[in-house]
Structure 1
Amino acid sequence: MEDCDMPEANVYGFQARRPKTERLLTLMKEIHKQEDLTPKRLAEKLGVSERTVYRYLRLLENNDLLAKRYSRRQRQYVLEPQTSLEPIRFTPQEALALEIAASNPAIMQGSIFAKDLQSAMNKIRSMLDAATQREVERLKQHVSIDTDTYANYFAFQTIMLTLQNAFALRRKVRIRYWAASTNQEEEIIIHPLHLTFREHHWYLLAFSERHGEVRLFRVSRIREAEMLPQKFRKPTRFDPDTWFERSWGVWGKTDEVIVKIKFSPRVAHIVKDTHGRRFYKMEMQPDGSMICTAETYGTKEISWWILSWGADAEVLEPEYLRQEFAKVTQAMAALYTPQTAAGTHEGV
């Protein structure tokens, strides 16, 4: 039977007979609203005495369901920054969805969310009854996610935590960064703006004081990170979606280039099905081939992708990229051209 408190008369003189559980949930909702949270007002809302309100608050706090303090200046209760949410019930399908999402290596392998997500999932699992747990385990056998990461991000937990704190406090960060373009380490002061997982890696979008612009940093190349006391102001017009809008992979905000590619009949439908969203125009040809047109930031990333299709992809435009491909394919052909007896390599 539902636990009920004895009826208590409130200031209006009526008797409140709602179950205790319902009163506790109502109390939590009222506190989360952050509106007029005086003990007297809460007592009126619940139909109980102020003494009972204090008892309910202690009960919620003792069970880690609420973290509040009484502000003498505001003369009302206010929530602490770290607090718990109301109890939530999950169906087996909802619990499964959370289990599958939490199994994503991109999130669980050393990201800033890994520790909190693991803690949350442990709490959810502990609240599931035996039948629901069995149903979730059964469904998990038929669904999985494998978003591979190309770096061990457990080794970068300290750096990820520093970035997390810098996001929250809007503080500058001094990093020691290995730049692949120069094969050297650089010390840079950055304003961290956005963290994103793309192409199997975590990347940081940040304003670089050295370069005077927003740049992209791969987290696995950050050797050290130190949060500084100085704060920064986030650019009002910064939008990570715009940054990557025409990126073929992760590089963004360079010169925009129109690239036209012809795919052979053998792969045309595969390209259309798997990569069609990347092109703004796709034209099927009478012979079954397909001409695709893309607008992208620079040509380096899309060039690597085009080369992965081998002889089934031909660059039509721009002309300079077509010439570059001619040089690359000639160099590749030379690697596989049979050598003369005098010029053969030993051990091949």
Structure 2
Amino acid sequence: MERFERIYQLHHILSGRRTPIANRDLQEQLECSEITVKRLISLMRNHFAAPIVYNRQLNGYTYGNENGAHPYELPGLWFSADELWGLLTCHTLLSKLSQGIFGEHVIQLQKRVEKLLALDNTSAGRKLESVKILAMAARQKGINPLFNKIASALFDRRQLRLTYKARSDGETTERDVSPQTLVHYRDNWYLDAWCHLKNELRIFAVENIQTAARLDRPAKIIPRAELDTYFSSAYGIFSGKAEHLAKLKFTPERARWIKDEHWHSEQQGRWLDDSSYELAFPFGDHRELLMDILKHGRHVEVLEPAFLRQAVRDEIQEMKKIYRKDEIGIIE
């Protein structure tokens, strides 16, 4: 049994008793030696300021809540051992996000987790290093310094005045928005908001927000069900109604991976007679989907709809033009 699990159990034993418990009984319940019990008690007293007192007359330990004081609570240790080690991945994720979303608050939480993990007999640092999160396609060189202001307005339900440079056409506009949701998608941050300029829901890439001024006006709140319908019904980051159904056929070789992948919450998959795999899901804007299809190369075929199949064909033709120069060179 690991050390912090024993501390957790010792706290549970003492907080559930009104009378002292003997060292011998603690050894039995904690499955450890007499000296280990004494070390745990010393650790709790010194590390967590636990008011553990020894009653010599009754030859046992108890929590000393004198003068009607509030029962002692073990600070920060409301996790079991399994739950605490489950925080390992969360800790690593926090280290990736801490520069932006909650700053110093997240850093303090990380330190608290590390402090608890350090109670284990083995190296917490080594275990933390055993979990790796690989970032891919992150566009930010660093978190937008306006991030905290955006998050604050979102949480306080206030409007923002943004200066935004669209990546699609390079145009810069100023607009008032009502923040709805911050989204971390493919290692980049996006803001779902009601745009008062366009009078509709829009998505803003956080790294493209150049200025953000908090306004003294309450934000327009869109019901969560409506947000989910607008932002989550279609494929990928692009919003809007999912008006099309994509049907993709993957080769038997690639199917072994695709059958377990999550592409969309409403996806449907089935095996075909030739051991290939058909995947179907709704989508609206096809741009992101086109990129995801192309990365599978010859291992995927678009069955439906016809315009998506044509878009893939057109892209392949344009790609061939690039490499056709090599063929001409060989002929010459």
**Same fold by TM-score greater than 0.5:** yes
The CA deviation at 1:201 is 0.7
Distance between the aligned counterparts of 1:213 and 1:190, measured in 2?
A: 10
Pick 1 or 2: higher relative contact order, CA cutoff 8 A, min separation 6: 2
* 2:133 aligned partner: 145
The CA deviation at 1:97 is 3.0
The CA deviation at 1:168 is 3.1
* 1:19 aligned partner: 64
Matched, 1:236 2:281: no
Distance between the aligned counterparts of 1:229 and 1:186, measured in 2?
A: 21
* Residue deviations 1:1-57 (CA, integer Å, cap 9, x gap): 7469xxxxxxxxxxxx983279544599xxxxxxxxxxxxxxxxxxxxxxxxxxxxx
**How do 1:1-348 residues align onto structure 2 when only pairs under 5 Å count?**
2=52, 19-20=64-65, 23-26=68-71, 87-89=75-77, 90-104=79-93, 107-126=96-115, 128=116, 131-132=119-120, 134-148=122-136, 150-152=138-140, 154-157=142-145, 159-236=146-223, 239-275=226-262, 280-337=267-324, 338-340=326-328
Asked if the contact 1:192–1:206 (Cα under 8 Å) also holds between the matched residues in 2, the reply is: yes
Distance between the aligned counterparts of 1:91 and 1:135, measured in 2?
A: 18
The CA deviation at 1:93 is 4.2
Asked if the contact 2:94–2:110 (Cα under 8 Å) also holds between the matched residues in 1, the reply is: no
Give secondary structure in 1 for the equivalent of 2:259: helix
CA gap 1:199/1:239 in 2 versus in 1, 3 angstroms: farther
Distance between the aligned counterparts of 2:329 and 2:263, measured in 1?
A: 47
Distance between the aligned counterparts of 2:241 and 2:163, measured in 1?
A: 24
* 1:67 aligned partner: none
The number of residue pairs the alignment matches comes to 273
The aligned amino acid for 2:131 is: V
Asked if the contact 2:117–2:124 (Cα under 8 Å) also holds between the matched residues in 1, the reply is: no
* 1:40 aligned partner: none
Deviates more, 1:249-258 or 1:93-102: 93-102
Distance between the aligned counterparts of 1:112 and 1:273, measured in 2?
A: 31
Asked if the contact 2:65–2:71 (Cα under 8 Å) also holds between the matched residues in 1, the reply is: no
Distance between the aligned counterparts of 1:129 and 1:298, measured in 2?
A: 45
The CA deviation at 1:176 is 0.9
Structure 1 portions without partners, runs of 5+: 5-16, 29-85
Give secondary structure in 1 for the equivalent of 2:134: coil
Distance between the aligned counterparts of 2:157 and 2:147, measured in 1?
A: 15
Asked if the contact 1:95–1:136 (Cα under 8 Å) also holds between the matched residues in 2, the reply is: no
CA gap 1:239/1:144 in 2 versus in 1, 3 angstroms: farther
Deviates more, 1:178-187 or 1:292-301: 292-301
Distance between the aligned counterparts of 2:250 and 2:224, measured in 1?
A: 38
Asked if the contact 1:105–1:149 (Cα under 8 Å) also holds between the matched residues in 2, the reply is: no
The CA deviation at 1:180 is 1.4
The CA deviation at 1:310 is 1.1
Distance between the aligned counterparts of 1:333 and 1:176, measured in 2?
A: 40
Q: TM-score, normalised by structure 1?
A: 0.67
Structure 2 portions without partners, runs of 5+: 1-50, 55-61
Distance between the aligned counterparts of 1:227 and 1:93, measured in 2?
A: 42
CA gap 1:281/1:230 in 2 versus in 1, 3 angstroms: closer
Distance between the aligned counterparts of 1:175 and 1:329, measured in 2?
A: 38
Asked if the contact 1:263–1:314 (Cα under 8 Å) also holds between the matched residues in 2, the reply is: yes
CA gap 1:243/1:111 in 2 versus in 1, 3 angstroms: farther
Distance between the aligned counterparts of 1:23 and 1:201, measured in 2?
A: 52
Q: TM-score, normalised by structure 2?
A: 0.70
The aligned amino acid for 2:219 is: F
The aligned amino acid for 1:286 is: D
CA gap 1:135/1:295 in 2 versus in 1, 3 angstroms: same
Distance between the aligned counterparts of 1:22 and 1:319, measured in 2?
A: 79
The CA deviation at 1:257 is 0.6
Distance between the aligned counterparts of 1:131 and 1:238, measured in 2?
A: 44
The CA deviation at 1:300 is 1.8
Distance between the aligned counterparts of 1:106 and 1:113, measured in 2?
A: 11
The aligned amino acid for 1:136 is: A
CA gap 1:125/1:340 in 2 versus in 1, 3 angstroms: closer
The aligned amino acid for 1:143 is: V
* 1:61 aligned partner: none
* 2:40 aligned partner: none
Give secondary structure in 2 for the equivalent of 1:273: coil
The CA deviation at 1:274 is 2.4
The aligned amino acid for 1:88 is: G
Identical positions, percent: 23
The CA deviation at 1:217 is 0.8
The aligned amino acid for 1:324 is: A
Asked if the contact 1:263–1:291 (Cα under 8 Å) also holds between the matched residues in 2, the reply is: yes
CA gap 1:279/1:132 in 2 versus in 1, 3 angstroms: same
